[in-house]
Amino acid sequence: MDWNIERVVPKEMDIVSSELQRLSLKYHLQRYHVARDWLGERFNGRQPSILDIGCGTGFGSEILAEVGEVLAVDMDEDAIGYAERHYHNERTSFKVGNADAQRFLESLGDFDAVVSLETIEHLEDHYRYLKWVKKALRPGGVLVVSFPSTFTMDWASPHHKRDISRSKASRLFRDCGFEIIKRFRQDDRLDMRDVLFEAHYNKTMPAPPLGQWIRIYFRNPYLLALRLYQITIGGGILLAHQQYLLEPIRAG
């Protein structure tokens, strides 16, 4: 399976010559390790039932299985097939399904923890999704969620449906009935030469059509100004991600 900007395949990635792939792998592994440590501390030796939704190729589900039983879900059949071949174990099972499909979500049951890394920016209705998560959590349950916190719509589109700032995230979580327990932040800058290297040598790297770029910058000219600043003066493209441990707000 080929790596691209939205699909991490640790065993296939070139982390020696590609700085973009090295950073991508580092960030994805770090998020799952943080999630594992948070859940281990939260459940203090008890083995929680964990839903890893948007699991991709399954490498992170294997990490989460160190602290509990994991049901891992992704909408990409090829990714789930890869996960079953490379990461299946007695504590982890994989399933194809779409987090935008309410009926599918409701068929999954309930869990002690839901891990949703780099998912909510892809969803058609992230409010509905988070409200479902709250209902799916057992008493004492928690949600681990992460997302890019800088603007991505000019290069990640059409994969991303929205950009989410830290302030927007706080309002989103509160509106959906969650409070923030822990935070983790990832920051780095990627030299434009590394982006161009990846675009040249990695033909699986997606890029929005020209018309889409024009529409995004026409509607949001400040994004073009910020991007040009990052490329020419700011030291490279900013990569910023936020990760949170959330629990449902208790009534009363």
pLDDT digits (tens, 9 = 90+) for 24-74: 889 999 999 999 999 999 999 899 999 999 999 999 999 999 999 999 999
pLDDT of residue 103: 96
Instruction: Phi first, then psi: give them for residue 41, nearest 5 degrees.
Output: -70, -40
Nearest to 24 by CA among 14, 34, 38: 14
The stretch 223-228 carries a mean pLDDT of 87
Q: Return the CATH architecture of domain 10-207+238-248.
A: 3-Layer(aba) Sandwich (3.40)
**CA-wise closest residue to 73 among 95, 90, 105, 99:** 95
How many CB atoms lie under 10 A from the CB of residue 200?
9
Arithmetic mean of pLDDT, 9-23:
79
Q: Does 19 score more than 60 pLDDT?
A: yes
The pLDDT, as a whole number, for residue 155 is 76
pTM: 0.90
Of residues 114 and 219, the one with the higher pLDDT is 114
Question: CB-side exposure of 211: number of CA atoms within 13 Å?
Answer: 0
Amino acid letter, 220: N
CA 29 from chain centre, in angstroms, equals 11
Location of structure tokens 């939704």? 53
Nearest to 145 by CA among 32, 42, 243: 243
Q: Which residue has the higher pLDDT, 120 or 215?
A: 120
pLDDT for the residue 21: 84
Least confident interval from 126-130, 168-172, 231-235: 231-235
2, pLDDT greater than 70: no
Specify the pLDDT at position 36: 98
Mean pLDDT of 150-162: 81
Residue linked to tokens 């509905």: 128
Burial class (CB in 10 A: 0-12, 13-18, 19+), 218: exposed
Supply φ then ψ for residue 125, to 5 degrees.
Answer: -135, 90
164 or 192, which is more confident: 164
Q: What's the pLDDT score for residue 4?
A: 58
Would you state the pLDDT for residue 1? 52
Q: Please report which confidence band the pLDDT of residue 252 belongs to, taking 50, 70 and 90 as the band edges.
A: low
- Do 147 and 122 meet the contact criterion of CB atoms below 8 Å apart? no
Question: What are the residues whose beta carbons fall under 8 Å from the beta carbon of 13, sequence distance 6 or more?
Answer: 3, 21, 22, 24, 25
pLDDT at 197 over 70: yes
Confidence label for 194 from pLDDT (cuts 50, 70 and 90): confident
